Chain A
Amino acid sequence: MTSATAGTGLTGADFEKFRDYFYKRTGIQFSESKRYFVDKRIDNCIRASGYDSFAGWFGALRLGDKPALLQELINQLTVNETYFLREDYQFDALLNAVLPEVLKNRSRIPGPIKILSLPCSTGEEPYSIALRLLEEWPHIDTVDVEIHGADIDSEVLARARHASYGERSLQRVPKPWVAKYFNLVGAGRYQLDESIRGAVTLHQINVCDTATMRNFRDFDVVFCRNVLIYFDELSSRRAAENLYGSMRPGAYLFLGHSESMSRISPIFTPTRLPEGIVYQRPTGAK
């Protein structure tokens, strides 16, 4: 068998080292079968960063003084695309397993159920949650739900507020839902109806900023997907701590499908649902 990589040509040992490093750093594991995919992406990163060998690039990456190297690598190795109903199985888990538990445990707690989407980017995630609740959660007629989206980037928040999307972003949304909740506003552009846009509260926030995160309280469910992997050790720990503070005891936290708290912080209790692992803020009652 000939080497699969042109250019910098990773050896088997290089690949092993890289795989161990990337796993340790992000919790994302690539099997040997992904070798070709990973090699190509690493090659792109090495070229883009101006290094002429794997060893030089990997040494700089591990040293950590050029955060852009890791950022580029994660961008290359993960899917950044955001669209409606992405990683939908987690919304299944929300409806089928998490919200029933939340309802059961909150009989004594006044006020609405609170859901936070962070980072919410251009709004697809919080609006997806809203659509699925309205269309598929039978209790929505009898229970109040507050949905909040938050992001550090004011520009994406402005787009989230405007809530106008292309067909690509909506391709997983059932046609009847599009007809019911979106208005055609231009060629292939659909704007989410004000009834939903207006119901989701958006905030600009840095999840690592403890002082402002302290104002976020008593959430029952938090979605924090595909962002903690970008943070260094201390930032991801602080972000996890801040998320914990924003949640009620017993509340649920969803991470991205390839992410795990096990590389970040032991502060949450992992719980297994049919759809995968979610994390709970402990209730304190043992």
Chain B
Amino acid sequence: MGLVRRNAEPEPQTMGPGDLLAQLDDPDPDRRREAALGLEAESAVEVLLDRVATEDEPRVRDAMLTTLAAHDTDAVAAGLAVHLASDDAGLRTGVAEALASMPESVPAIIPRLLEDPDHDVRVMAAMVLADLQHPEATTWLTVMIKDDPHPNVVASAIDALLPSLGPEHTELLERAVRRFPDDPFLRFTVEAALR
């Protein structure tokens, strides 16, 4: 008894993509999670995109999103963005986080997100832009603050812009307050931001 040494290196487990794809159907969520995490090849993107909205175990879905976001391709960005409108809060926020870590492919879908008729989707778009590491992110946020017709979207965009806020944004923010004079939160936010 006492400290014991493990002499042999652990037995390497070789898992082919075929094994992992089959494992995505395992009844045990931890096995599905492991499969989703291991399916890093491009060839698995379609399968993961197909399942990300129907998988009801959060830890499996999060693993799928971790794997998908690493691809940062147009297909993944477009395939995920549709779920920003989901009624499932876990799915839409998980997707927003994944998109925020995809600076190569997400810029191409930003224009259509900013024009989405559903203001909840545009709020999620501001959430994506808040963390998207892209030089144009602040420009898109200023466009939202200037033009978006919904006060909640404008407030979310102001919040997302906060870390980059400079004196050049003063006029933009003051105009936002004038557009929504009855919104106490927006007024407070702008006053705090300008202080």
Contacts and interface: CB of A to CB of B under 8 A. Distances in A.
Contacts of B11: 215
Contact of A215 (B13, B40, B66): B13
A267 interface: yes
Interface string B114-151: 00000000000000000101110000000000000000
Contacts of A233: 97, 100-101, 131
B27 interface: no
Interface string A194-228: 00101111010000001100111100000000000
A39 B115 CA distance: 41
B2 A267 contact: no
B43 interface: no
A147 interface: yes
Contact of B1 (A141, A210, A249): A141
A265 B63 CA distance: 10
B12 A237 contact: no
A145 interface: yes
A62 interface: yes
Contacts of B165: 17
**Number of chain A interface residues as a range:** 35 or more
Nearest to A113: B4
A142 B1 contact: yes
Given A62-B133, A233-B101, A238-B37, A199 B12 contact: no
B38 A214 contact: yes
B15 interface: yes
B4 A198 contact: no
Nearest to B36: A241
A144 B6 CA distance: 11
Contacts of B34: 214, 245
Contacts, number: 97
Given A63-B133, A234-B101, A266-B58, A211 B3 contact: no
A62 B1 contact: no
Contact of A20 (B1, B101, B134, B163): B163
Given A145-B4, A217-B10, A211 B38 contact: yes
A81 interface: no
A201 B34 CA distance: 25
| Max count, chain B CB within 10 A of own CB: residue among A55, A141, A147, A214 | A214
B96 to A, nearest CB: 12
Contacts of B63: 241
| Max count, chain B CB within 10 A of own CB: residue among A64, A134, A141 | A64
**Number of chain B interface residues as a range:** 35 or more
Nearest to B69: A234
B54 to A, nearest CB: 20
B175 interface: no
Contacts of B12: 215
Nearest to B131: A233
B1 A198 contact: no
Contact of B66 (A145, A234, A245, A249): A234
B183 interface: no
Contacts of B30: 249, 284
A21 interface: yes
Contacts of A196: 3
A133 B3 contact: yes
A241 B66 contact: yes
Contact of B40 (A59, A210, A265): A210
29 contacts: A17-B162, A17-B163, A20-B163, A55-B166, A59-B164, A62-B133, A63-B134, A130-B3, A133-B3, A134-B2, A140-B2, A142-B1, A144-B4, A146-B5, A198-B5, A199-B3, A201-B5, A214-B13, A214-B38, A233-B97, A233-B101, A233-B131, A234-B66, A234-B70, A237-B62, A241-B33, A241-B62, A245-B37, A284-B30
Interface of B: 1-6, 9-13, 15, 30, 33-34, 37-38, 40, 58-59, 62-63, 66, 69-70, 97, 100-101, 103, 131, 133-135, 162-166
Task: List the 5 shortest-distance A-B pairs measured between CB atoms, nearest first.
Answer: A64-B133, A199-B3, A215-B10, A144-B4, A233-B101
Interface of A: 17, 20-21, 55, 59, 62-65, 112, 130, 133-134, 140-148, 196, 198-201, 203, 210-211, 214-217, 232-234, 237-238, 241-242, 245, 249, 265-267, 284
Given A145-B4, A198-B5, 12 more contacts: A21-B163, A63-B134, A144-B2, A144-B4, A200-B5, A210-B37, A214-B15, A215-B9, A217-B10, A234-B101, A241-B63, A267-B59
